Amino acid sequence: MTTYFPEVDKIQFEGTSSRNPLAFRHYNASEIVEGRTMNDWLRFAVCYWHTFRGTGSDPFGAPTLMRPWDDGTDSLDNALRRVDVAFEFMTKLGVPYYCFHDRDVAPEGATLRESNANLDAVARKLKEAQRSTGIKLLWGTANLFSHPRYMHGAATSPNADVFAYAGAQVKKALEVTYELGGENYVFWGGREGYMCSYNTDMKRELDHLARFMHMAHEHAKSIGFKGQFLFEPKPKEPTKHQYDFDAAACLNFLRQYGLMDVVKLNIETNHATLAGHSMMHELEYASIQGVLGSIDANTGDLLLGWDTDQFPTDIYLTTQIMLVLMKQGGLHSGGTNFDAKVRRESIDPIDLFHAHVGGMDAFARGLKIAAAIRADGVLNDFVRQRYSTYDNGMGRRIEAGSVSLNELDTYIQESTSLTANTSGRQEMLENLINRYI
């Protein structure tokens, strides 16, 4: 059997004393943390688009990543060969899941019928590879942004035939995801947004997007697909104003159009930071409303204002992520998808392994650190104490909704002493986190 990564064996856990760059020092899939295996907490996924379709091209330069297995064409043969590459890579890495867009795995044809036939041919091979390796599909999605027909958007295009095309494409992508046992289905807004207010009817576009989502949900129900629908917020890029700006904007849309029971969120680090939020903020915001479904694990660059999609290596970041995920009891049907790409200067296939091994280890460390912080309880106790004026007396009545402004007025006018403010102790808590890192 051909091997595409002959220089790499199955990546092993070797512990912190290991000097082997292609070994896990922290990620030990079966190790138990807070009653669950690391594998269960993290549910890692490799993304097909960056890892197997990334070319290293950027707005200033041509592709730099010439893969030895890739013949440079968009042929079906090439796509089928890539399935072998992907499953060898994922098996050697030891991840339980992968994710794809329809057009990552199979070429777009001249007609929708041709595209669907291509997708079916590759899906048959993916299914076989899943069966023989045990690797599963975390989520599928449709690419509704690359083809020129989607220049004005897909479901929010002013052209009804483009809406129809997108609907037909999502129908097929849902069916293939279902066929492959996908546990979720993702909608990232692509070009659902706009560049110029003068030519845009925002109300109609948002109504259309909602209609699209309801149709997708109806179709999923009709074919028996039980996977979780996920929205992936992003504030800009490719359009100037993306409708799914951040978790709050997505939630407002879902509530407005009666989709709260149907859709959760897939939160991506670099999208959170582009929106001017920290990842922890976005996760917490989604989690407290019960809609944190999955994460796209990557990171941006502090000095660059676009979606650089780098691999996460920052232990503070992964610790913060794991603190929120553990608080809500894990990701359930979601997972940790490395929506990240190697730099265009990292030209060897082996760099793909270095990138993922580092990302997985960073998350495993984040998991262990978060577990230690939780076991210690100091952070939790501090926050609980900080709000303790709401545990009894007037605070308790405020939370219970049993007082009016009149009563607050009487209470303040008649009180002889009010509770004084206490320190937020930010610096002490930041130092505390450093104790565990």
Write out the catalytic residue numbers.
101, 104
If one asks whether residue 296 binds ligand XLS (CB under 6 A), the answer comes out as yes
If one asks whether residue 104 binds ligand XLS (CB under 6 A), the answer comes out as no
Q: What is the largest CA-CA distance in the chain?
A: 84
- How far apart are the C-alpha atoms of 357 and 30, rounded to whole Å? 16
Total chain residues near Ni ion (CB under 5 A): 4
Stretch that binds Ni ion, among 10-18, 26-34, 260-268, 420-428 (CB under 5 A): 260-268
Contact 437, 319 (CB under 8 A): yes
Of 157 and 270, which has the nearer Cβ to Ni ion? 270
Of 331 and 370, which has the nearer Cβ to ligand XLS? 331
If one asks whether residue 234 binds ligand XLS (CB under 6 A), the answer comes out as yes
If one asks whether residue 307 binds ligand XLS (CB under 6 A), the answer comes out as yes
Query: Mask: binding to Ni ion, 303-322, rule CB under 5 A, as x and -?
Result: ----x---------------
Q: What angle do CA 47, 147, 246 make, to 5 degrees?
A: 55
- How far apart are the C-alpha atoms of 260 and 231, rounded to whole Å? 11
Dihedral over alpha carbons 116, 118, 123, 124 (to 10 degrees): 110
Of 47 and 373, which has the nearer Cβ to ligand XLS? 47
Among 88, 104, 192, 232, binds ligand XLS (CB under 6 A): 232
Q: Of 277-296, which residues contact Ni ion (CB under 5 A)?
A: 296
Place of tokens 């694990």: 297
Q: What angle do CA 50, 53, 57 make, to 5 degrees?
A: 80
Among 183, 268, 282, 361, binds Ni ion (CB under 5 A): 268
- Quick one: what does residue 141 bind among Ni ion, ligand XLS, none, with the CB cut-off 5 to 8 Å set by partner type? ligand XLS
If one asks whether residue 268 binds ligand XLS (CB under 6 A), the answer comes out as yes
Of 188 and 311, which has the nearer Cβ to ligand XLS? 188
Please spell the DSSP secondary structure of 138-207, one letter per residue. EEEE---SSSGGGTT-STT-S-HHHHHHHHHHHHHHHHHHHHTT-SEEEEE-TT-EES-GGG--HHHHHH
User: Given its phi and psi angles, is residue 34 left (phi above 0), alpha (psi -120 to 50 degrees) or beta?
Assistant: left
Of 141 and 336, which has the nearer Cβ to ligand XLS? 141
If one asks whether residue 191 binds ligand XLS (CB under 6 A), the answer comes out as no
User: Given its phi and psi angles, is residue 35 left (phi above 0), alpha (psi -120 to 50 degrees) or beta?
Assistant: left
- CA 381 to chain centroid: 30
Total chain residues near ligand XLS (CB under 6 A): 10
If one asks whether residue 188 binds ligand XLS (CB under 6 A), the answer comes out as yes
Which residues fall within 8 angstroms of residue 419, CB to CB, at 6 or more apart? 389
Residues in contact with Ni ion by the rule CB under 5 A = 268, 296, 307, 339
Binding site for ligand XLS (CB under 6 A): 101, 141, 186, 188, 232, 234, 268, 296, 307, 339
